[in-house]
Amino acid sequence: MTKARLHSMTAFARVERQLSDVTLIWELKSVNHRYLEVSTRLPDAFRDLDMPVRERCRQRLARGKLECGLRYQLSSGEGSLALNEELVKELSTAASRVEALLQHPAPVSVAEILRFPGVLAGNDVDLSTCQKDVLALLDDGLKALAENRAREGQALADLVRDRLDQVLVQVERAKTALPAILDNLRDKLKKRVEEVVASADPQRLEQEVVLLAQKMDVAEEMDRLIAHVNEVRRTLDEGGACGRRLDFLMQELNREANTLGSKSVDTETTQASVELKVLIEQMREQIQNIE
């Protein structure tokens, strides 16, 4: 079974089709958005295609703010204006008769005559026959947009995977440092107790060290970090519309990184926590564009 590809919500596509007497052009632009929001810009001749256009977009896309613009260009010689000379003569005669009946008539302007219905007529192309071609071309445009979104999505996935590798480096860094940190903490605590008490109770000292070690134990946090990293990778590999799930996983990763920082008693683990949060934020910014 073929895995669904990961898609970015940011892409652009332009498709064009030449018919016998008209050229159709679709321009599609999508950006990130919490839900799917489709806006259309259609010429008056194709206004009744608004709902079919929106439905096709909903079938192809899950999230993103999509702008669909349709333009058309008539072939050379089509749609030129023709002057109805007979009607103009009749209007001129009628205007002269009206002027003779009025005492102070205002002159009739050329613009007023041109605005009269029927004076100018276009050799109009019947665009109603192009509706199937418009929708078919939209399908081509949506396919091109999906390909562009998929390429961008793959690039985003690669960036996220690179950050995930760096997250594991920081987790391993913290794990490696913990034994030395604990030994150093035991020595410091022993010196402080010996300064207060002439002869410190070794058993009590060890109990205090154990209690302190429990408070700063971050093994569970690091295990959960690794588990979240693996889940993010699985989700990326699975593909499809997974942006919201990835965003949730980023929140969980950040939660564990914050806990690691709050339990830190050493600059090494503190720095690891800071690096983790930087990496998680970088991933979160990229994931905002994933469908």
Q: How confident is the model at residue 193 (pLDDT cuts 50, 70, 90)?
A: low
Range scoring the smallest mean pLDDT among 79-83, 105-109, 114-118, 243-247: 79-83
| Interval 105-160: pLDDT, tens | 777 788 887 777 777 655 556 677 889 999 999 999 999 999 999 999 999 999 99
Residue 77 zone, left/alpha/beta (φ > 0; ψ -120 to 50; rest): left
| Interval 157-170: pLDDT, tens | 999 999 999 999 99
150-287: CATH, from 1.10.3470, 1.20.140, 3.90.226, 1.10.20: 1.20.140
| Interval 22-74: pLDDT, tens | 899 999 999 999 999 999 999 888 999 999 999 999 999 999 999 999 998 88
Question: Is residue 215 over pLDDT 60?
Answer: no
Long-range pairs, 145-150, Cβ under 8 A, ≥24: 145/11, 145/12, 145/13, 145/28, 145/30, 145/60, 146/7, 146/60, 146/61, 148/11, 148/12, 148/13, 149/7, 149/8, 149/9, 149/10, 149/11, 149/30, 149/291, 150/5, 150/6, 150/7, 150/8
CA dist list (Å): 52 to 80, 92, 107, 138, 213 = 31, 47, 50, 10, 64
Percent of the chain with pLDDT over 70: 81
What average pLDDT does this structure show over 229-256? 94
Q: How confident is the model at residue 286 (pLDDT cuts 50, 70, 90)?
A: very high
| Interval 90-104: pLDDT, tens | 888 888 888 888 877
Domain boundaries, given as residue ranges, for the chain = 11-77+133-149, 81-122, 150-287
Which pLDDT does position 201 carry in this prediction?
Answer: 62
11-77+133-149: CATH, from 3.30.230.10, 3.40.50.720, 3.40.630.30, 3.40.50.1980: 3.30.230.10
Give the pairing of strands 22-31 and 11-18. Answer: antiparallel
Percent of the chain with pLDDT over 90: 49
> Which is more confidently placed, 29 or 216?
29
Q: Distance between CA atoms of 176 and 171, rounded to whole angstroms?
A: 9
- Find out whether 4 and 240 touch, Cβ atoms under 8 Å: yes
- Find out whether 276 and 260 touch, Cβ atoms under 8 Å: yes
3 state SS of 24:
strand
- Find out whether 200 and 187 touch, Cβ atoms under 8 Å: no
Q: Distance between CA atoms of 13 and 180, rounded to whole angstroms?
A: 56
Which pLDDT does position 1 carry in this prediction?
Answer: 45
Q: How confident is the model at residue 82 (pLDDT cuts 50, 70, 90)?
A: low
Site of tokens 């749609």:
79
Which amino acid would we find at residue 282? Answer: Q
Q: What are phi and psi of 150, to 5 degrees?
A: -70, -40
Q: Distance between CA atoms of 233 and 33, rounded to whole angstroms?
A: 23
Which pLDDT does position 91 carry in this prediction?
Answer: 85
Question: Is residue 221 over pLDDT 80?
Answer: yes
Average pLDDT, the chain: 84
* CA proximity to 251, closest of 291, 223, 283, 219: 283
Contacts of 288 (CB under 8 A, 6+ apart): 32, 243, 247
Q: What are phi and psi of 39, to 5 degrees?
A: -120, 140
Q: Distance between CA atoms of 280 and 137, rounded to whole angstroms?
A: 41
